Structure formats: structure tokens, C-alpha cells
A and B are shown apart, each in its own frame.
Chain A
Amino acid sequence: MIISSLGQGLLWAPLAIGVFITFRILDIPDLTTEGSFPFGAAIAVSLMLKGQSAIVASLAGFLAGCVAGLITGILDTKLKIPSLLAGILTMTGLYSINMHIMGKSNVPLLNQKVLTEYLPEGWSLEVQTIVLGLLITVIVVGLLYMMFKTRLGLSLMATGNNKDMSAANGINTDGMIIFGYAISNGFIALSGALVAQSNGYADIGMGIGTIVIGLASVLVGEIFLRGHGILTRLIAMVVGAIIYRLLLTVAMSLGFPADDLKILSAIILIIVICVPIIQNRIRTKRQLKKYLEQMEEQDDESITSAASTEGILSRD
């Protein structure tokens, strides 16, 4: 069970990383996710059915997601549509586009060679999935880590944190926001392409609830792995995606029917939003108590030392 959640979690990790870029770096809850995830799946599966290799198809899925993000970005920055609505518009439009690409609501892969089959045949499917997932995660995290160490990445972080200050320092903030949307949705679509290959089909409904899954993974990751460094934060997203899968697998094994998984996702998200707040409150209280105790001890010491000097003086 843990092994299979590990593999599946790694395939879902690019989704968590994509959501992290918009939600944490740009500070935008981007609903394009629900459209770009199945968009990546639809593009990848239909290209594979047309005879393209799984590698080309997955990369095409990534690029398709970038285009979806680009559109939301332009709606948000250039047309000044509120970001939440911009995401909903792209997501809604993508539903039709995905239907056109797939032709019907569910398209299975036939005998096409999926990415895991590029790995040695002797390995079990679970090992293949984990190795493939690890490989892709290392590439994605590595590329992003390097990007965030460049001036471009710094400008992206600054834009998300303080737009006025960024513009005053010569950063093209609209361009940065569009760029952020694009790569974020690229990774989300890549995740869709990977999950579709793992499932063996693309489905028009596979995007439903992905924003909740993505946000939950981001928050779970941040609960388990804290840190300010960008590398730690990216790895936390991967950890979050895996733990989230594990939670779902546990729920399924407890006998929850598949239809109930969506409400379960929502409940998990509510819990993980609340946990850090409570954690923080408890931590602050404990620190405060410690601090006050120390102050008291100091006071006591100064009183006793005063008393002892007094004693010495009186003896004299």
C-alpha cells in the first residue's frame, strides 16, 4: 500500500508543484488547474493514439498546459479580470476543447508504450512507477531550483510578494505573472499526462477536484517539512503529494466508496488548513510561557543576589 502510494504520489507531485507556484509564489488561487490537468491528459493520450512516443506526448502535454496558463495570465493581467474568475473562464473553455481533442468523454490507451515501459521489463509495475516518478520529480525540482536561483526566479518571487515594489525596481510584473501561470499549468498538465498513462485512459472528468488535491498537497507538505529555502519548499511539495495519496489509499482500504473520495479530499483540505493555525497558536503559547518563566527566574535571581549583597553589607 505504501509502495503504491509512493509511486502514485510521485506522479501527482508535479500537480502539487504547479499549484505551489501560483498559490505560494504568486499568491493566486488558480482554478485553471481543473482544466489544464485533463488538458495534459487529453493531449498526451490522443497523441499516443496517433502514433507519437510517450515522451513526445508527455512533453506536448506540458506545453499545452503552459498555453492554458498563458491564457489565464493574459485574462488576469492584460484584461484585468480578477484572477479567480480568469481561472474559471479558462477552465470552462478547456472543457469543450478537451472534448474536441478526445472526441468522447473517455479515451483508453490501447497497446501504446507508456513511459514506465521504457524502464527494464524485469521490474514490477510499482518499482517502474516509483523510478519514473523519481526521475521526473528530480528533473522538475532541479530545473525549478535552478530557475529560482536566477534573476528571473528572484523577479518572479518579488512580483508575487510585492507588485508595487517590483514594478518600481523595473520588473515587468505582468510578464512575470503570465510566466508563473504558464509554468504552473505546464507542470499540472504534465501531471495529468502521467496519471492518464498510469491509469491507461484519459477522462473528461479527471480534472474535477484537482485544485483541492493540489492545495491539500501543498499544505500537507508544508506541515511535514518546514523551511524557507526554495529547495526545501519544493521537496515539501513532493512529500505532500505522496502523503496525500497515502491518506486517500488508507481511506479507500477502510472501505470508502470511490465516489466519496471528493468529499474526503475536501475534508482533508479543511483539516490541513486548520492544523497549521492551531499548531502556530500552541507554539506561540508555549514560547511565551517559556519566555515569561525565564523572566521570572531572572527576577528571582536579581532579588536573591540583592538579598545576599545586603547580607554581606549587614555583616560588615
Chain B
Amino acid sequence: MKVLQVQHLQKVFFPGTENERHVLKNINLQVNEGDFISVIGNNGAGKSTLLNTIAGTLNADAGEIDLANHNVSKKSVAYRSRWMSRVFQDPKMGTAGDLTVLQNLVLAQSHTHTINLKWYQKKGDIESYQQLLATLNMGLENFLNTQVKYLSGGQRQALSLLMATLSKPKLLLLDEHTAALDPKTSQEVMKITDQIVLREQLTTMMITHKMSDALKYGNRLVMIQDGQIKLDVKGTEKKNLKQEQLLAAFEA
């Protein structure tokens, strides 16, 4: 079953000026349930633009985006969030620093789209949140009432990840979410990501700069170059993919 269908997607920056850049050139992509896609590509290849267009931060100039069988091409980020969550590259982006860990989790738990005057804090929830945080193995369960800005980058990103997966989205977008962390923390967060995605069976698109991560994680690999999909391998073919082959594809 398809979760996301992108058809004939075009994006041009600064049209009509000398800085004109055609970033997405007629992209077609179908994401099926259970896909865990690593998206790789050079700087400026268009992978972040693709992700931003899918998320709704950028509007596509042409083409259609269907998300969980809804045409969302012209819809807002908030509307798309009914079926989609996102972890940003910058740990500060995915959480509200002045709010507590608990408040952030509550915000992520239930995406309400109407005015909601219900008390947000309930006694029973606290324990279940603590259990959830404990699964991250970062000691966050003891900081439920701490403002998120006092957490470390790794803790903040792990929290973002937990928040993004809390509402069981149909599609999870990871935008180089380990790039801003030190190598060790980056590895830890990547491991947690893999665990959560497999446990919750989340359909995921992960942009990464690290070829090793792209090869190690996920069951499908998409390479974007010069605004087009250059390579799209899945299943055993993806499993058997070697770094040399990938490098060769980059050069070609």
C-alpha cells in the first residue's frame, strides 16, 4: 500500500533572475508502507528541498503530492502533520526550549486541529511518558519537568525523535537528524532511530550524509543527483549494495 506518491514534482528557486536554480526536476517517487528509505546525494542535489516540499515548508511549483491518499500539494505544514512527522537537523528546531519535556511530549502526542479546552496534564499520563523516555536510555525520565533548553543536543534530538513517533505517523521524515551531533551521540541516536522505526513499523524517509548509515540502515536507498532520482534500490539488492558501487554511482 502506498503512503506517499510524488508525481512530476518541480521546484525552481529565483525564477527569471540570473540566480535561477532548477532544484527539483520532474521527481516521481512512490513510498510504500514499511519502506525505510535512506536518501543520499551531494550538497545542493535537492534532497533537502524534496523533503521540505513533502513536509509543506516549501510549496511545489508543479506536480502532485498524495499523502495517505489525500492530495496535500497545496496544504499547510499543520494539515500534513495529521499523517506525517518530522525530525529536523537542528536539535533546537524539533522541540520548544522554554517548555518542559512533559509539555513537549503532550504537544506531540495528540495533534488536535480544533480549539481544545481540555486540561492538558493528567496524572495517569506521567507514568507512561516516563516509561517511554526510559526506552531512550538517556536518563530523560528524571527530567520530565525540566525545560528542554537545559538538555544536551543528543538528549534534545532523542526527545524530538520520540515526539515525532509518538503519534504513530504514516510517514516519518528524518532530515539529517544526526548531522549536528558528535560522532558518539550521532551513533546512539541512529541506533535509537532504528529501534523505534522497526518496533513501531514506521514508514520512514531519512536524509543522511553518511554513506555508511545509508548502507547500514533501511531497506531501500534513493540517490538524488542534480534534482533527479539517480538510483533507487530495494530489498536484497539494497542489502548487497557496497560502498564502492555507491561511490561509482556518485561519480557517474
Contacts and interface: CB of A to CB of B under 8 A. Distances in A.
Interface of A: 149-155, 157-158, 161-162, 164-173, 228
29 contacts: A149-B119, A150-B119, A151-B117, A151-B120, A155-B116, A157-B96, A158-B103, A158-B107, A161-B99, A162-B92, A162-B97, A164-B57, A164-B93, A165-B95, A167-B77, A167-B78, A167-B81, A168-B77, A168-B81, A168-B86, A169-B81, A169-B107, A169-B108, A169-B163, A170-B81, A170-B82, A171-B78, A172-B76, A173-B78
Interface string B64-94: 0000000000001110011001101000111
A170 B97 contact: no
B147 to A, nearest CB: 7
Nearest to A179: B115
A167 to B, nearest CB: 4
B125 interface: no
Contacts of A168: 55, 77, 81, 85-86, 94
B113 interface: yes
Contacts of A171: 78, 107
Contacts of A152: 115-117
Contacts of B57: 164
Contact of A150 (B92, B96, B110, B118): B118
Nearest to B97: A161
A172 B88 CA distance: 19
Interface in B110-143: 110-113, 115-121
Nearest to B147: A228
A154 B105 CA distance: 11
Contacts of B98: 157, 161
Contacts of A166: 96, 107
**Central interface residue in A149, A154, A162, A169, by most chain B CB within 10 Å:** A169
A280 B69 CA distance: 54
Contacts of B85: 168
Contacts of B78: 167, 170-173
A154 B76 contact: no
Nearest to A173: B78
The 5 tightest CB contacts between A and B, nearest first, are A170-B111, A151-B116, A170-B81, A167-B77, A161-B96
Looking at chain A's contact residues, is the secondary structure mostly helix, strand, loop, or mixed? helix
A171 B94 CA distance: 14
B3 interface: no
A155 B103 CA distance: 10
B106 A154 contact: yes
Nearest to A24: B98
Contacts of B76: 167, 172
Given A162-B92, A167-B81, 9 more contacts: A151-B112, A154-B107, A157-B96, A157-B99, A158-B103, A158-B107, A164-B93, A171-B78, A172-B78
Contacts of B97: 161-162
A165 B94 contact: yes
Nearest to B121: A149
A151 B85 CA distance: 19
A174 to B, nearest CB: 9
A158 B110 CA distance: 14
Interface string B165-185: 000000000000000000000
Contacts of A162: 92-93, 95-97
A158 B81 CA distance: 16
A158 B94 CA distance: 11
B86 to A, nearest CB: 5
Contacts of B108: 169
Contacts of A167: 76-78, 81
Nearest to A168: B86
Contacts of A170: 78, 81-82, 111-113
A158 B103 CA distance: 9
Contacts of B94: 165, 168
B248 to A, nearest CB: 37
B20 to A, nearest CB: 23
Given A165-B96, A170-B112, A150 B107 contact: no
Interface in B225-239: none
Contacts of B92: 162
Contacts of A150: 116-120
Given A149-B119, A161-B96, A154 B88 contact: no
A168 B76 CA distance: 10
A151 B112 CA distance: 9
Contacts of B88: 164
A150 B119 CA distance: 4
A238 B97 CA distance: 26
A151 B92 CA distance: 22
B96 A158 contact: yes
Given A168-B81, A169-B111, A228-B147, A154 B103 contact: yes
